[in-house]
Amino acid sequence: MPLQTASLTVPLLCDLSRNFPQCCATTPAITISICWLPFSLLLSLSMAALLGSVFLLVLQTYAAPPEFIQMWPSAPTLGPGYLGNETVTPSLVPPPGTSKHLPHSIIIGVRKGGTRALLEMLDIHPEVAAAATEVHFFDWDENYSKGLEWYRDLMPYSYPHQITIEKTPGYFTSPSAPARIRAMNSSMKLLLILRDPVERVISDYTQVYFNRLENHKPVHAIEDMLVKNGALNTRYKAIQRSLYEMYMRNWLLHFPLEQIHIVDGDMLIYNPLSELQKVEQFLELPPRIVATNFYFNQTKGFYCIRSDGRERCLHESKGRPHPPVNSTVLGQLRSYFRQHNHNFYQLVGRTFNWG
């Protein structure tokens, strides 16, 4: 019986390897005359093609950038005991030569002080590996009880020349966080970003206001939250969080001031490069962040980031416009914080333009 030809496909090769004569007798002619070749040569060609495919697949995997290698989240993201409501950086196959480390520096706060902006801007630096989420390890008992290995596993992969940084704004106001961080690393370098306490109160209210709107919950005017029975409601959580002096005293019981760098959050908005250069010096990083890494977005009204050929701004939930506040109530707020601010200045040995 005359031999026929067939195209070289994986299913056909499997049939050829099992029943070469029958395959050649029944397969219609298409392109490549394979059946005229010796059977042993056909098998060699088949194996070479298969090994070549496997090699290309492996090469593609290890040549891909980390963002394409990483495949799925390493932990859930909701509720106490988890990671908060921000996106978790996926992780499956680490880039070659990387590993996970406990943080070398932590952004400890303050809430609505600009912690996300600070972390995003520091992430420009090639020697910084930034954790993607607020871990809440040192301020949530349920997370802290899981141990340091659980905490380490939530850090990003980093190269030997990089430092790892995580940020959780709740640490600053947590009674237990300072002692717990010191127990992990007494030489830890801490970053604290603060802004005008009055502005921070209003920003805190604004975030809660929009969160309640999105969840179809009732909202209250800011004056109703700030004033109770005709007097300033100093028990309001947003006001309590702006008493920097009170929380700073607790941190100074566990860390010397030299290990706590205070970033001026108001200056970071208007002159980010100046503040970030100070942070580079504090963290003993080579100066790599430059003016061209930032551009002013007229629409959003604040600076955005330019790096690696990409431009990006903070999430739309950041930098929301503040509601107008009654001038009398605003005056009460400023009067209340004046002495607290003065005490804070004395505590840290510097002043801020907080009115």
Cite the annotated binding site for 3'-phosphoadenylyl sulfate by residue number.
112-116, 195, 203, 303, 318-322
Q: Which residues contact 354 (CB under 8 A, 6 or more apart)?
A: 196, 197, 198, 337, 341
CA dihedral 251, 257, 260, 263 (to 10 degrees): 110
CB atoms within 10 A of CB 53: 11
* DSSP for 36-82, written as a single string: TS-HHHHHHHHHHHHHHHHHHHHHHHHHS-HHHH--S-SS--SSTTT
Direct distance between the N- and C-terminal alpha carbons of the chain, in angstroms, rounded to an integer:
100
C-alpha to C-alpha distance for 129 and 95, rounded to whole angstroms: 13
Token output for 88: 């978790």
**Residues forming beta bridges with residue 141, ordered by sequence position:** none
Q: Which residues contact 200 (CB under 8 A, 6 or more apart)?
A: 110, 111, 112, 113, 194, 238, 241, 242
Q: What is the CA radius of gyration of the chain?
A: 29
Tokens representing 271? Answer: 């002159």
Of 162, 169, 328, which Cα lies nearest the Cα of 247? 169
- Cα–Cα distances in Å, from 266 out to 82, 117, 225, 271, 275? 31, 12, 24, 9, 10
Residue of 112, 167, 189, 278 marked active site = 112
Largest CA distance in the chain: 106
Q: Is 217 a catalytic residue?
A: no
Residue 106's closest CA among 194, 190, 192, 193? 190
User: Which residue, 119, 131, 134, 132, is CA-closest to 84?
Assistant: 134
Residues designated catalytic? 112
